[in-house]
Structure 1
């Protein structure tokens, strides 16, 4: 295997979700300066799922107009568009617009939608492109996809995102004359000391962070160019790559060798002799097993991409700002860690897949319970409670990320179209999770955030 191809596949994978992941870790700096406040995470989850119009359009185009769009064309466009949107965020993220008499961060939300379209569309384009390379490089791609969350988190830690200190401030308030007499106070005004959160200035600005995300997208674009044209990568392609063309006037299937992805359709227009009729992919799994795999894939992505991220601040902030940052950072570490484990221990047991999904779901239920109990979850004033919530986030992401990687490896062996369906199910699960959480967070106010300095819990 070529080391340079591994590096390029990793860098290519890093561009898949780096902009959205970067936006999430930058929230503690963004939230205090916009009118939406901590409702922003649930807004972002909904916008990300609305962005599934991108993969839906691509999938429909290749279902009804196969061959009209090529993987390379779409990927070049979405990476370039993502870099442009990230660049514009640096200038417009805190601009507001009056909407029905209320200030709203319309530029931020609009640009977030654009970068979400880019990242969501990567699920149905980047993965199928990896079929161009040997199977070993798919796991490397997943490592890069995991690093798309870890790298921005580490940069945010260096930046000093959202470090808060509780400071005593003097507050003056008016009291009634009767109340003053009853308390033997001669003045109509009194003062008291209260704790107020004071956010430490970051080491560099939000604008600089968005420029960093732009640079990451440019790196992804360069990596994709080299994956297409570098001689070392060309040697790592399978010896026989065929696309299938079918003419309406004849039942003959003709094969044409393709050296690059420039004109490769993302979904083959014919299954024909490539797989047993009536079976999914190569026919390795029964339809019940295929449904089982896709249900687990949708469930795992619903939990990791939308359901739990919508309540991460509620589950962690009651334990302190450090708990929130450590849980976000270490969860980002757990994702590529799961991919590294899969590189050396690629266990494809469907039973193990179900067991790990059950474990991850149980841990997710604990995290959701702590979010529902916010601002006074279990062991809120105990260091052990902080350790548990951080550990819960780590093992939650670790278990379900391993499941997602193994499913990706399984579907890669089932063929090109199986990976396209993989990306579509990933986005479907994420969308259903977001649609479930948005009313709970924003309409019914099921979750409550506490003051980091003044919350009183028994």
Structure 2
């Protein structure tokens, strides 16, 4: 294995969702300066789902015109588009245009849509491209994809986004909040501290990250050391196709080429499917994709939409700690998978149930907001942070298991993998949008004034 190729695969994966993840973590600095205010997250949710037109086009091309679409020119196009869009955000994110008699942040919304197209389309192009490299680099790619959420979050923490402190305030007759030292005032107000650097610099950082992704992709295509890795890649689907044409059975393949599936040892009587190399039965293929959609719905849409409701009642520190540690858990799961690889469908199912259980606890605490269990205790804070870590850690590992399984099934399997990832995320977002934004079934906790019975 080449350390250079591992680094390049990681940097390439970081470019997959870094732009949209960066937009989300920068919201506290963006929304005070735009007309949409805190309605912007709702707009972003809709724009991201509209951007699934990119993955839909790629998937349909692979389905009805197989072999005619090379993902490499598409990747070059979307990454360059990401570089340009993030760079333009640096200068135009707070510009407004009058539409229908009212001001709207048209440049911000248009550029956000373009970035959504870039990131959504990466799910069905970046993964299939990794077929050109040996399978051990796929786990490194997933680690980079996890870092696409962690790195912007860490930079935002350094920037000071969302950092608050609580001050005693009293309301005067003109409803203006002023500092008060009177004994009668027990009301606290959350005061947001100014950021250490501006949103312009943060968006410039996102543009630099997209440039790094572009450079990594160019080197993955052109560097001689990576070219030698591609020549020794026995997993590429053209090789698998050649083996099938030569009539080489799965049992005659070398141990490196044969998928490690323990479930099949007890289920030989099940008919094989025509999916990929035909290793799995129809039931197993359906199960894999259902789990993939479920896991991505939970991790990319359902639980993130209620993170503030589940954590803020325990305090602002609990919220930031849960968000940061959950972001760390994603690449950590990929790092563990590099040394403890798994392809067992039984283990995948057990781990999915394990992570879903922690997700259910998080959802229950969000539903009980602003007075969840153990709200006044350190134990409650520790439990909710631990729940977020184990939720993301376990389900991120499930994603890697499925990615490795589908990697063995060929190029088209990874295209469908990316499509199902987007489908699951879309269904989760559409399900939670009316519940959170329209019907407002969740109540926000106040980081400074939690008034719940002991």
Secondary structure of 1:83's match?
A: helix
CA distance in structure 2 between the partners assigned to 1:336 and 1:381 by the alignment: 32
- What are the Cα deviations for residues 116-140 of structure 1, in whole angstroms up to 9, with x where unaligned? 1111100100000000011111111
Higher mean alpha-carbon deviation, 128-137 vs 308-317, is at: 308-317
Distance 1:157 1:174 in 2: 35
Which whole-Å CA distance do the structure 1 matches of 2:92 and 2:312 have between them? 28
Cα distance in 2, alignment partners of residues 294 and 118 from structure 1: 23
Name the stretch that deviates more: 80-89 or 37-46: 37-46
Report deviation, 1:165.
Answer: 1.4
Which of 342, 348, 356 is residue 353 of structure 1 equivalent to?
Answer: 348
Shift of 1:36: 4.5
Unaligned runs of 5+ in 1: 176-190, 247-251, 254-275
Q: Is the 8 A contact 1:311 1:371 kept in 2?
A: yes
Q: CA deviation at 1:44?
A: 2.8
Asked if the contact 1:171/1:194 (under 8 Å) is kept, the reply is no
Greater Rg, structure 1 or structure 2? Answer: 1
User: Would the alpha carbon gap of residues 168 and 288 (structure 1) be closer, same or farther in structure 2, given more than 3 Å must change?
Assistant: same
Please name the residue that 1:223 is paired with: 216
Structure 1 residue corresponding to 2:196, chosen from 203, 212, 215? 203
Cα distance in 2 for partners of 1:3, 1:55 equals 31
2:303 to 308, 317, 323: 308
d(CA) in 1 for partners of 2:186 and 2:169?
A: 6
Once the two structures are superposed, the pairs formed by residues 123-134 of structure 1 within 5 Å of their partners are: 123-134=123-134
Paired residue for 1:180? none
Alignment partner of 1:233 out of 221, 226, 238: 226
- Contact 2:355–2:390 under 8 Å retained in 1: yes
Contiguous gaps of at least 5 residues in structure 2: 176-183, 247-270
2:168 counterpart residue number: 168
What is the alpha-carbon distance in structure 2 between the residues aligned to residue 391 and residue 97 of structure 1? 44
> TM-score, normalized by length of structure 1?
0.85
Tell me the residue number matched to 1:213: 206
Give the Cα–Cα distance (whole angstroms) in 2 for the partners of residues 192 and 242 of structure 1.
Answer: 70
User: Would the aligned equivalents of 1:123 and 1:426 in 2 still touch at CA under 8 Å?
Assistant: yes
Task: Go from structure 1 to structure 2 and tell me whether the alpha carbon gap of 1:216 and 1:441 turns closer, same or farther (over 3 Å shift).
Answer: same
Alpha carbons 1:195, 1:453 under 8 Å: kept: yes
Checking the alignment, whether the CA contact within 8 Å between 2:272 and 2:282 is kept in structure 1 is no
The residue aligned with 2:419 is 424
Kindly state the Cα deviation for residue 358 of structure 1 after the two structures are TM-superposed: 0.8
Aligned residue runs from structure 1 range 282-361, under 5 A: 282-361=277-356
3-state DSSP class of the match of 2:12? helix
1:116 equivalent in structure 2: 116
In structure 2, the CA distance between the partners of 1:242 and 1:389, relative to structure 1 (3 Å rule), is closer
In 2, distance between residues paired with 1:57 and 1:167? Answer: 52
RMSD: 2.5
- CA deviation digits over 1:221-257, x for unaligned, max 9? 000000000001001014476759x9xxxxx99xxxx
SS at match of 1:142: helix
Aligned to 1:375: 370
